[in-house]
Amino acid sequence: MRIRQTWHTVASVIKGLQPPRSIRPTREGWWFLLVTVGVGMAATNTGNNLLYLLLAMLLSFIIISGLLSEQSLRSLAVSRVLPKRVHAGHAAAGRILVSNASRRLPAFSLHIQAAANRSQYLVKLAPQETVSLREELLFGQRGLHTLPSLKVSTRYPFSLFHKTARPGLTAEVLVYPRLVPLPPVFGRRLSTRGASARYQKGRGSGLYDLRPYRDGDDLRLVHWKTTAKVGEFMLKELEQEEDEKIALLVEDPLDVSAPGVAATMERDIEIVASLAADLLKRGAEVALLTSNGTVPYGRGMPHLERIFKHLALYHPRPGGNPEAQRPRYYASISLRLGDGRIS
């Protein structure tokens, strides 16, 4: 334990000793440095005052370049605004916020790099100004992904040196499974299910009772056959329907290490996510059961987010879904991952 604490202390001290900026000459900067060294050697060997003046001018360019580039980076703050939902295989739009906290001095010629070999450029950032840049996020697989840290660099003012601010903190993005069209077998299976009626008054489709018409009632509910018999308007009262409840039972693959099972499992997880979205869109209550845990019955977009999050972090475990952990369910669709078998 002491060794670990000592190591963390040493690592933090080393990190604190690192310079706040990294700097490297550009191609033009290397030529400028070579000319400066050459002029310096010539001035030292000849003692020519004109060469000393020229050397002083070249050195002043280097000093001014360092001061002005530092001024452009010193007051900058860069942060990310991540999208609320990211699905595998679908591009999502994030934002990069670049702010200049300086009250008087602008920042010039800024390169904001969010990923390797891809950067965005700002010519000028005025004092107290914040600019929002678009960042496209695209991931091939579900799960927790770490975004590379943001880097801000500048070549201002003479393009002699490429100065980069210390990278900011990395960000994590939870990528949900890809949404895909449901296979026809699921459409046939869902078409056989429907909401069941309760014997109480509500807003269903079945007939509960008849009553006389009152002012303000919906004329579309008039029961014309009974109205003709009794000689006054009679209105239909409808039965309350009980919403459909379905549990999605996700069974672990029999052998995860078998050839092709991992890819097939990911495809099946995409089907489960798409099925949950379709059922919740229909107004059903949906529960999800996996070996990693259970998402109880619920409906609406917040519940769909919980299901997506659970599936994004799902990993098969030995032993499958214990029957004792399964809540009471009205109907279920069970899918064996890895072979696409449903029941």
Q: Is 107 exposed, middle or buried (0-12, 13-18, 19+ CB in 10 A)?
A: buried
Query: Which of 132, 147, 176 represents a domain boundary (last residue)?
Result: 176
Closest-CA residue to 315 (of 274, 247, 266, 260): 266
Strands 130-137 and 92-100: antiparallel
d(CA 74, CA 129) in angstroms, rounded, equals 14
Sequence-ordered strand ranges (E) for 82-117: 86-87, 92-100, 107-115
Residue 137 sits in a domain whose CATH number is 2.60.40.10
pTM of the model: 0.69
Q: Indicate whether 166 belongs to any domain.
A: yes
Residues 264 and 118 in one domain: no
Q: Are residues 37 and 129 in the same domain?
A: yes
Distance of CA 45 to the CA centre of its chain: 63
Q: Do 65 and 103 lie in a common domain?
A: yes
Q: How far apart are CA 37 and CA 58, in angstroms?
A: 10
C-alpha to C-alpha distance for 64 and 126, rounded to whole angstroms: 20
Q: Are both 207 and 117 inside the same structural domain?
A: no
CA distances from 224 to 134, 208, 212, 217, 239 (A): 61, 16, 12, 14, 19
- Do 31 and 140 lie in one domain? The reply is yes
Q: Would you say residue 300 lies in a domain?
A: yes
Look-up of token digits 């601010």: 165
Mean pLDDT for 135-155 is 89
Q: pLDDT at position 202, please?
A: 44
Q: Are residues 123 and 39 in the same domain?
A: yes
Number of domain units in the chain: 3
- Identify whether residues 157 and 220 lie together within a single domain: no
- Residues recorded for the chain: 343
Contact (CB, 8 A) for 123 and 27: no
For residue 50, how many other CB atoms are within 10 A of its CB? 9
* Residue showing tokens 């690592």: 11
- For residue range 11-59, list pLDDT tens digits in order: 554 554 455 678 899 999 999 999 999 999 999 998 889 999 999 999 9
Q: Quick one: 251 and 238 in the same domain?
A: no
Boundary-marking domain end, from 242, 259, 274: 242
The reply to whether 231 and 330 lie within a common domain is: no
What is the C-alpha to C-alpha distance for residues 1 and 32, in angstroms, rounded to an integer?
Answer: 52
Band (pLDDT 50/70/90 cuts) for residue 113 is: confident
Sequence-distant (6+) residues with CB within 8 A of 102 are 74, 75, 127, 128
Residues 233 and 164 both lie in one domain: no
Mean pLDDT of 310-316: 88
**Residue 12 covered by a domain:** no
- Specify the pLDDT at position 174: 92
H or E segment to which residue 197 belongs:
strand 196-212
Q: Which helix (H) or strand (E) holds 62?
A: helix 49-74
Q: Does a structural domain hold residue 286?
A: yes
Domain range for residue 278?
184-188+244-342
**How many distinct helices (H) and strands (E) make up the chain?**
7, 18
**In the chain, pLDDT over 90 holds for what percent of residues?**
26
266 shares a domain with 253: yes
CA–CA gap between residue 77 and residue 98 (Å, rounded): 6
| Cβ atoms of residues 308 and 275 within 8 Å | no
- Report, in angstroms and rounded to the nearest whole number, the Rg of the chain calculated over CA atoms: 34
Say if residue 275 is in the same domain as residue 234: no
pLDDT digits (tens, 9 = 90+) for 132-141: 999 888 898 9
| Tens-digit pLDDT profile for residues 53-72 | 999 999 999 999 989 998 88
Identify the pLDDT of residue 293.
84
